[in-house]
Amino acid sequence: MLNDTAGPGSAKEAFVAKRIVIIGGGAAGIGAAGAARGTDRDAEIVVYTEYEDAAYSPCGIPYVHGGEIPDFERLFLGTKQQYADQGIDIRYQTAVQTIDAHGRNVRVGHGPPVPYDALVVTTGWEYGKPDVPGNDLAGIYYMKNIREAMQWHEVLEGVRSAVVLEAGPLGMEMVTALCHRGIQTHLVDPGPWALAMATDPDIVAPVQESWQEMGAQLHFNTKLEAILGDDAGRVRGVATSGGDVACDLVVVCTHKEPRTELGAAAGLAVGTAGGFIVDETMATSVPGVWAAGDCAEIPHGVSNVPIQGLSGSHAYAQGKVAGVNAAGGQRAYQPVYVPWAMVAGKWMIGGVSFSETLATALGIPFVTGQAQGISRARYFPDLKPVKVKLLAEPGTLRLIGAQMVGGEGIKERADFLAMAVRTGITLRDLATMENVYSPPIGALNEPIALAAQDALARLEG
């Protein structure tokens, strides 16, 4: 930006760097900061975050708790100095209180307004707080901030039994982690099975059986009614529609709620999914303001319905798009097809877009096929089963969803099938796909192709 205070035509026009303010230091905020720096090396980039740290991976926290990752230190992706060296000015433990979109400034604490040329809102999400008596007792863990996770890690040393509230992705990881630690673990979920919004019961059944083998007790179709405390105000159990469950700790893994209060108060439009409405450049309804990550909503590529509360990889990619555009570049974000995968119990589970349950609930017609294959050559040691279910649009046979459960190779298949949905690949394409056959990593028959062949065989009677 040119500062014209020296007067029009002045030979001494001073160059003033564009100031990009980013609210939030999570995946989206850090993605935005790095991309803005890559686009405009002169821009002044200021990131405000409530936390003591930025640029750590919360995704690793359940695995430190479960003992697979030995310490929290390795979850930090960069040092504070590295960001300072890149000219990214991160203001830690500093909450932005208001946005004045007309005046193009934000307010922080009692200081003067901080002007911006471009603003990126990445205020993220928080767990839905259980709306029951006892929700303020000591011993209720909201797993998010790494510093708090470090403290809870110490607490876990003395915990004998825990209740995990809800079997979303983070709850599923925590059930597995607590079982690994030898903690008597109860899962309480109002849904009929784990991750019911994304899975079918036949796909998630092996995971649930393995949790039970690991000692977990599963309470599905069960509503939380209260968190019970002792005389010292500490958790001693939960009351549910299925009876009381004793525990020392409650881990809240409820659905993610977008944090939109700050932006909404400044006039940013909020959509049907509860996140900020953005266009493909991640621009909000307010000029000069972009939004990214779990506070924004994005259209689903198949249904075109806006969805919100995606993953860290989505947040990071959206942040980069917002950062590039806020810095004056041009980049677009695509509708999403939502590949997902995780280790849960003794299995890997994953999918893309629609399950049978979700498609049915939404009234989306589909044809389906499924197959049980193997992950390696049948003679190779430690081969694992891989079950694949595919959903396709009747008539065109374009893929609209997939689910998988198996011992290995689930993430790679989810990524591939998301691209298949996005590019309009059909069951006929998949039934005749080429595949790698290499004894330690791939079987002669690819389970995806087998599932597509099964679907075609059903269609042909």
Ligand X SMILES: Cc1cc2nc3c(=O)[nH]c(=O)nc-3n(C[C@H](O)[C@H](O)[C@H](O)COP(=O)(O)OP(=O)(O)OC[C@H]3O[C@@H](n4cnc5c(N)ncnc54)[C@H](O)[C@@H]3O)c2cc1C
Does 354 interact with ligand X (rule: CB under 6 A)? no
Other beta carbons less than 10 A from residue 231's beta carbon? 6
Does 262 interact with ligand X (rule: CB under 6 A)? yes
In the bound state with ligand X, the residue whose beta carbon lies nearer, of 13 and 50, is 50
Does 116 interact with ligand X (rule: CB under 6 A)? no
Give the count of alpha carbons within 13 A of 437, CB side only: 11
In the bound state with ligand X, the residue whose beta carbon lies nearer, of 49 and 185, is 49
Pick the binder of ligand X from 21, 22, 24, 117 (CB under 6 A).
24
Does 171 interact with ligand X (rule: CB under 6 A)? no
Q: Are 27 and 293 in contact (CB under 8 A)?
A: yes
Give the count of alpha carbons within 13 A of 17, CB side only: 15
Pick the binder of ligand X from 20, 21, 23, 452 (CB under 6 A).
23
Does 388 interact with ligand X (rule: CB under 6 A)? no
Other beta carbons less than 10 A from residue 371's beta carbon? 20
Give the closest residue to 245 by CA, choosing from 224, 266, 274: 224
How many chain residues interact with ligand X (CB under 6 A)? 32
Interaction pattern, residues 33-62, with ligand X; x per rule: CB under 6 A: ---------------xxxx------xx-xx
CA separation for the pair 53, 80 (Å, rounded): 8
In degrees rounded to 5, what are phi and psi of residue 311?
-115, 175
In angstroms, give the least distance from the CB of 248 to ligand X: 20
Does 323 interact with ligand X (rule: CB under 6 A)? no
CA separation for the pair 294, 275 (Å, rounded): 7
Interaction pattern, residues 96-115, with ligand X; x per rule: CB under 6 A: x-------------------
CA separation for the pair 316, 208 (Å, rounded): 31
Pick the binder of ligand X from 37, 104, 144, 219 (CB under 6 A).
144
In angstroms, give the least distance from the CB of 121 to ligand X: 9
In angstroms, give the least distance from the CB of 295 to ligand X: 6
Q: DSSP state, 200?
A: -
Instruction: Identify residue 319 by its one-letter amino acid code.
Output: G
3-state secondary structure of 332: coil
Give the count of alpha carbons within 13 A of 55, CB side only: 18
In angstroms, give the least distance from the CB of 315 to ligand X: 4
Q: Are 251 and 143 in contact (CB under 8 A)?
A: yes
In the bound state with ligand X, the residue whose beta carbon lies nearer, of 43 and 64, is 64
Pick the binder of ligand X from 259, 320, 387, 389 (CB under 6 A).
259
In angstroms, give the least distance from the CB of 279 to ligand X: 18
Q: Which stretch binds ligand X (CB under 6 A): 9-17, 117-125, 204-212, 378-386?
A: 117-125
In the bound state with ligand X, the residue whose beta carbon lies nearer, of 146 and 431, is 146
Does 28 interact with ligand X (rule: CB under 6 A)? yes
In angstroms, give the least distance from the CB of 42 to ligand X: 25
CA separation for the pair 185, 163 (Å, rounded): 6
β pairing state of 217-219 and 289-291: unpaired
3-state secondary structure of 245: strand
Interaction pattern, residues 394-433, with ligand X; x per rule: CB under 6 A: ----------------------------------------
Give the closest residue to 200 by CA, choosing from 366, 376, 360, 63: 360
In the bound state with ligand X, the residue whose beta carbon lies nearer, of 72 and 380, is 72
Does 83 interact with ligand X (rule: CB under 6 A)? no
In the bound state with ligand X, the residue whose beta carbon lies nearer, of 221 and 313, is 313
Q: Tokens in use for 201? A: 């019961």
Give the closest residue to 404 by CA, choosing from 393, 391, 395: 391
In the bound state with ligand X, the residue whose beta carbon lies nearer, of 244 and 261, is 261
Distance of CA 286 to the CA centre of its chain: 26
Does 293 interact with ligand X (rule: CB under 6 A)? yes
Pick the binder of ligand X from 125, 152, 211, 366 (CB under 6 A).
125
Q: Are 404 and 372 in contact (CB under 8 A)?
A: no
Which CA distances in Å does 235 have to 127, 132, 173, 230, 322?
19, 13, 22, 6, 42
In the bound state with ligand X, the residue whose beta carbon lies nearer, of 314 and 376, is 314
Does 337 interact with ligand X (rule: CB under 6 A)? no
Q: Which residues bind ligand X (CB under 6 A)?
A: 23-29, 48-51, 58-59, 61-62, 95-96, 122-125, 143-144, 170, 259, 262, 293-294, 311-313, 315
